[in-house]
A and B are shown apart, each in its own frame.
Chain A
Amino acid sequence: MIAYESQRVARWYLELSLILFCLQVTVGLWLAVNYAFTLPQGLVDVLSFATSRAIHTNTLVAWLLLGFMGGSYFILPLECKRELYSVKIAYAQLVIFAGTAVTAVVGFLFGWTQGKPLLEIPVPLDMLIVVAALMFVFNVAMTIFKAKERSLIQWMLLSGVTFLSVLYLFGIPFFSNLNADYYYWWWVIHLWVEGAWELITAAIIAFIILEVTGVERKVVEKWLYVETGLFLFTGIVGTGHHYYWIGAPDYWLWWGGIFSALEPVPIALMVLDTWMHVKERKNPIVNPLLWTYIIGLALFHFLGAGVFGFIHTLPQINYYTHGSQITVSHGHLAFFGAYALLNLVVFYFAFPKLKGIEKFDEKLGVWGFWTMVISMVFMGLIFGVAGVLQTYLERILDIGYSTAHMSMMFWFKAVLFFGVIFLAGVVTTAYHLFSLKKAEA
């Protein structure tokens, strides 16, 4: 049931993405074990927390990017009403990207790292990533340029992927000054998640909503303009909420505080417009699970990125919460709510079509969805409790680090418990997607 043959490349991207998702969560559980128990020195010497964390976060980025790329390749032919510019480039790019990711992970195990959190991939491998990104942007751009009709979704997607690739460059050089290092590190991390990635999310979701609900394109595009405009307006200067404590002028407290406090607004609009489009749908609901995911994405995006970001974005609060488990709570809820769920929406949109199934049997998938969502809410809350406790003990009562962190062991056992349930949800979902079957009439 795909309309264009070249959409098939997406399958490889999406399946690999799904496998890396399972790997990422498994390594995440191992990190929780590191927190919850005292590990023997011999083990820590060989496989440190740092190495495992590098794998956890890099597989996260890799599976999200693979999902974005696969998703783009899947929807572009539909949106451009033509085949992809080059299927060969798409495959070559996948081989380079996946090969680099695997090499990077193996390299981490042997201590080959750039040593920057989240951007640990060493410079030579960075260059390969850049090559893959250039190929991707070129392929997307050429497909769009050769299309007969131009649309807002096309160029929003193109701007998103271009912006994403350009920003990556700021994480590559060595800075001798640590605060400038982190100033530009946030150009990658923050401007990705609150800029480029939001553009991609907004474009992909706008397209999928258009497809499944059948609402008027003009209405969807209007929302798309307003939302992305507000995302960029609040998100760009909002980067300043990371500059409070790095050694930068005082005005950042104002610029960063005010703009980032407005960051939930576009996400709230997204909830609103998703809700309205679903209500005013012209098409029947074929696969309810896909709709559940679309609404789940909007709500969880707002909760994780919007609400949990907002609560510690003001400098008066952030002074105490910065660099604590509260950040971990926000990080997990936001990445899951905004981007993991986006990819899952893409999976549930694309997989049935790639397998030629119109209405799929969704029983297992529903289990997967609710297991993941509920256990992630619990994990986020427990990280949050651990963070409040840590902040209170360490920064308000002024109890030493070790004493304060000993209490973390209990909370991380709880995280581990819900983490295992979350992994069960992930595996169920992955299994469901891989073995998607037609619904019995």
Chain B
Amino acid sequence: MTGKTAKAIFWVGTLSSLIIFLWLTYDFHQQEPKYAKTDKISAQVVAGKKVWHKYNCNDCHTILGFGAYYAPDMTKAYFRLGENNIVSIVMNPEKVYKNSFRKMPNLGVTKEEAANLVQFLKWVGTIENRKWPPQDEKFVKAYKLRETSAHTLNKADIVMGACGGCHSLENLGRSIASDFNDIAKTTSFDRATLVKFTLNPQSVRPDSGMPNQNVSPATAELIADFILSLKIGKEVQK
């Protein structure tokens, strides 16, 4: 190979790649509104993104798969956890992760900041990114189902939608708090206490680490019934 050929390889290689890349970049911006739903980026979403940056969330969590791998990906966190759980976790991590093998720092996030963060994560969740991460797709589907056709859902789906951010039910949900089967086995609460506990845990057990759940009283009743039904099921089995 002559020096001239080598030089030609350099220039043709570099410039062709650069031209393709710049052209694709132009097209990326053209198509951005479609993929990133840019019209849904409200002032609150932007404020939420600033909260995301302010507390350096991205150096523990990934988002769109980028960042540190120390804590779960946040791309579809809105669907996985729901508004309520995000706020409780962000504001009281020391309570939520009291028994966890890994801790999240309490960074003093205010209520307003947490609310903005939720809006940011809600918008991020709507980015069309080819259903990544794979493990969260089930939460996205479940969320959409609850939104559109709640009447077709069984109780377990509704309960896990509201509580699955911390509690598990066999292979569903997360194992931050107890499994519903264990709760059913050990609880001595009656229906009314269970409802009261769900709405405001500390009013029943002041030392409880569970944050307030702003579910409707109707949903709280449904959750209570669900727990009690598991109890009967287990006892009958015995």
Contacts and interface: CB of A to CB of B under 8 A. Distances in A.
Say if A and B assemble together. yes
Interface of A: 34-35, 38-41, 44-45, 48-51, 53-54, 111, 113-117, 120, 174, 176-180, 182-183, 185, 218, 221-223, 225-226, 228-230, 232-237, 239-240, 242-249, 251-252, 255, 259, 319-320, 322-325, 327-328, 394-395, 398-403, 405-406, 409
Contact of A323 (B41, B69, B103): B69
B56 to A, nearest CB: 5
A114 B52 CA distance: 10
Contacts of B28: 183, 243, 248-249
A319 B134 contact: yes
A177 B7 contact: no
Residue from the set B21, B32, B66, B68 with the largest chain A CB neighbour count within 10 Å: B66
A49 B21 contact: no
A244 B130 contact: yes
A402 B138 contact: no
Nearest to B13: A233
Interface string B74-105: 00000000000000000000100100111111
Contacts of A405: 101-102
B185 interface: no
A221 B9 CA distance: 13
Contact of A237 (B9, B17, B50, B52): B17
Nearest to B73: A323
B176 A113 contact: no
Contacts of A114: 53
Interface string B6-43: 11011111101110110011011101100110100100
A116 B61 CA distance: 11
Nearest to A402: B175
A403 to B, nearest CB: 6
A324 B59 contact: no
B65 A322 contact: yes
Nearest to B120: A178
B46 A115 contact: no
- 10 A-B pairs with the lowest CB-CB distances in the bound complex, closest first: A115-B53, A323-B65, A233-B13, A229-B10, A50-B59, A245-B132, A225-B6, A229-B13, A247-B127, A236-B17
A248 B132 CA distance: 12
Interface string B134-178: 110010000000000000000000000000000010010111100
B10 A226 contact: yes
Contact of B3 (A51, A221, A402): A221
A244 B107 CA distance: 32
Most buried by A among B31, B54, B135: B135
B110 to A, nearest CB: 15
Contacts of B129: 179, 245-247
Contacts of B105: 44-45, 48, 50
Contacts of A178: 36, 49, 63-64, 124, 127
Contact of B94 (A41, A115, A183): A41
Contacts of B38: 177
Contacts of A324: 69
